Every structure is written in structure tokens, then in C-alpha cells.
Amino acid sequence: MSPTATTDGTTNGTTNGTKGVNGHSQKLKFEKYYNVINNELTTTSKTRHNINPATTEPNAEVPVSTQEDVDKAVAAARAAFKPWSRLPFEERGQKLRDYADAIDSYTDDFAKVLTAEQGKPMAQSVQEIGMASAWLRAFSTMKIPEDVVEDSEERQVINRYTPLGVACGIIPWNYPILLMIGKVAPALITGNTIIIKPSPYTPYCDLKLAELGMQIFPPGVLQALSGEEDLGPMFTTHPDIDKIAFTGSIATGKKVLAAAAPTLKRVTLELGGNDPAIICDDVDVEAIIPQLATFSFLCTSQICMMIKRLYVHTKIYPKFLEAFCNHVKANFKVGPGTDPDNFIGPVQNSMQYEKVKDMYSQIAKQGWKPALGGDMPDDKKDGRGYFFTPTVIDNPPEDSRIVTEEPFGPILPILRWDDDDDVIARANDTKMGLGASVWSKDIERATRMAKELEAGSVWVNSHFEVAPGISFGGHKWSGIGTEWGQNGLKSYCNSQSLWLKKKS
């Protein structure tokens, strides 16, 4: 049995807080972290902590949830489902807007915690929090319309969508706030209840977001449980969970899909990417480089839709390569996210740090030519923190690992091309298909090329643009299904054909 916890850190059998909305209006404190089960703060006999990737110092303790905790949360979500789904749409929407307002009121607190657990610079943390509240407000008014597909003298047939029931959102460590809210908002507005499983690497903000939700939502509607690597399978195999929404690696996504199969859960997978950006010979090099550099190195390149392969036309290649490297060197300072001058923070965790180190080690082993950076980190010299200098590899072979794999770290290949059809074929030559872009002053040419790219999101003269009202998902091994937009809403619903006879 997991004891409940008060905000002063003691444990007892009651929920905490002064009475207010839902009886939980006490100001949030960000020193201690708990599971949220049925609008109670609970802890576990065993706890764990993660570390600050910029300092490797420990963050606070968090619960290590058990099967009993999962069962309690699922039972609470199931009990809450019918009352929540029967609540009028407008009331559910208002609660999402109230939740957005509540998150905004704690922007500074969440930003500090996000930078401490994820490593990203404070400015990027603040931006992520702002996007999360914007997503909530947008989804609060998004409704799936009923479609009258037949209306005759004899009958009317309506295609409508009904909520699935209990959803589980499995959240990654790169954008834990936005990607949690990006699952919570569509699940709740469509009438489902949801349990959040944060990444073991970044549990803090997600637990605190669920705690804040206690002030807004009825018991069982929004819950969160932290744990270790064994927690995910407890959710994906649970017989009373109806939907898994997973964001993470391709390898883990395959395991999620396999685990969900025996109970025929609905599954949405948003997985890795190896995004190409194709730069045509007519671009204004100086004008586009700031955007391209940002879309390559934002969040230390730990975003699935960052540019991972930059294809530059041979006619402008030398000028572009020099200008790109100069911009990165002049503008992208590396260091802790608490320093406002820094743009590139640490890689988030030791596992990813070792993977990125292995990629950097290939520079010398494979004879790649670094146009910028390329130095292996010296753990003894550089001290604490999982930092890398941004690195650009000059025209490596197309079959090299830096081209075929997703590094998920600040190392980028820039490659030459001179034929439209050839570069499209090279861009598509991957099992991944999350995002892609084409950059050109000739919009007709760029659009033609863009339509040939095999990716879920394709941009012309931009990259990594997302919006709550626009569906987002991957082709090939980059995912199954979509999130956000009308398609994302429908992924939390069953389709129902309602046949209404007008004459008995």
C-alpha cells in the first residue's frame, strides 16, 4: 500500500491542501515530488532520483511505482471515465483553459525545474511551457463534428466519435512538458481519462503538472506515476487501459506495439526521425542560415524533428558551409541552461551521452572531415556535465553512420547535391519519415520536390513548425497514427455509425 503524502513531506492517509477548487488550492511547492492517484499525492517505500545533466548533481527523490499503484490508478481512471465523458463539451473545455491559466501562473517555477532535469536553456524552457498552455487553450475549443452521411425520407445516418475510455501517455525526456500536455489535452477534451508515465530521466515537471491538475480536474481524470524501466510494461499490458500514446525511440516503440497487441489496445506511436533539409541553389544563404542552424541545434539537437541531414546544392556549397559554421560558432554558446548566454545545453542523460560520444569517436575512425568542432569531450578536463561542442561534418559518405542514423546530439552532416531527382532519392533513402524540408525562392520547384518527400510533415522554406490544430505523425518507421489536429482527436475515439430510421 502506498501512503499518501502531505506537501510538507510527511505521510498520512488524507490528501493535502487548503480547500478550494477540488479542495486542493494550496500553492504548489517544487521541493518534493509525488505520484498523483485519484487526486491524492502518494509516495512509495522505494524512491529514486535523477541528476541534473549540466552538473551531474542529484535532483529530488521521486516514487518508484509498483503494479499495485498502477492498478489503483487504472481503477480510478475507469471510475472517472463515464462522469467525465458525460460532462458537456463546454465544461471540459473550460477546465482545460483553467489548467492553462494555472500552468502560466507557475511559469518561472516550471522553467527552473525543467532546466534542472532536462538541461535545456531557461529561454527554451519558458518557450516550452508557453507552448503547453497554448496547446491546452487550442484544444479546449476543438470539437469533432458529427457528419451526416445520409439523410433521406427513410433514414438518417450519422458518423460520430465516442471516447475510448482510459488512456496512458508515455512521455519522452526531450520535451516533457509539451509532449505531456500534447497528450493530455486531446484525451481529456474528447472525454477520456488519462494516466501519464513520465520518462525516468525527466519525471519532475510531469508529476508537478499532474499535482497542479488536482486543483482543476475531478479525481481519476488526470493522474501521473513515476517509476523505473519496468513501469512502462505495466501500462502497455494492463487489460483495462484502452489507449497508449507513446513518444520515444523506434526500438521502444516496437516493444510498446508488441506489448499492447494481446489486449488490442489502440496505439499511437511518434518515433524517431532522420529529417533531411534540401537547400536549392537559388536561396539567399545569409538570410536562411540562422533558421537552419536553429532547426539543427535547438535543444542540443535532441528533438525528433530537428534537421539531421542538410543537403546543399553544389553551386552554393562552399559559401554555405563557411557561413553556416561561422554562424554556429559565433552564436551557439555551450554551457549550463541557467546561463542566459548559452544556447546549447548538455545532452540529457548518461545513456545518450555515451551514444553521442560513440558517434563523435567515428570522426577519426572513419576519416570524416569536421568543418566545425569534432573534439571528443574530455571527462577529466571538462569536469561535470554531458556537454559537446556543436560539430559539422563536411560531405561524409552517404552510407556513413552520421547520415544513416539519428545521432540525437549536436553533430550534423552537410552534404552536396546537384540533381533534383537524385537528392530526393537520397533524402528518402531511410526507414524513417518524420519531417523534411525544401528551401528555394522558386516555390513551384520547391513544392514539386516537397511532394516527393516521404515524411509526415514537409515544409517549404521552414522546418519544425508545429501547431495544435495540425496533425503530426511519421511515415515508415517514424510512427503509427497521428497526434494533434482532427486526426489526433479521433485517435482517442471510436468511430460510430448511428443509423436512425425515420419510419417504424
Task: Tell me which residues are annotated as active site.
Answer: 270, 304
Q: Please, which residues have CB within 8 angstroms of residue 251's CB and are 6 or more apart in sequence?
A: none
Q: Give whole-number Cα distances, 174 to 248, 260, 327, in Å.
A: 9, 24, 24
Q: Please, which residues have CB within 8 angstroms of residue 123's CB and are 6 or more apart in sequence?
A: 340
Q: Do 168 and 235 meet the contact criterion of CB atoms below 8 Å apart?
A: yes
Q: Give whole-number Cα distances, 340 to 24, 107, 303, in Å.
A: 35, 16, 21
Q: Where are the alpha helices (DSSP H) in 304-383?
A: 317-331, 350-366, 379-382
Query: What's phi and psi for 5, nearest 5 deg?
Result: -130, 145
Cα 26–Cα 31–Cα 37 angle in degrees, nearest 5? 60
Question: Three-state DSSP class for 133?
Answer: helix
The span from the CA of 216 to the CA of 487, in Å, is 26
Cα 367–Cα 368–Cα 370 angle in degrees, nearest 5? 130
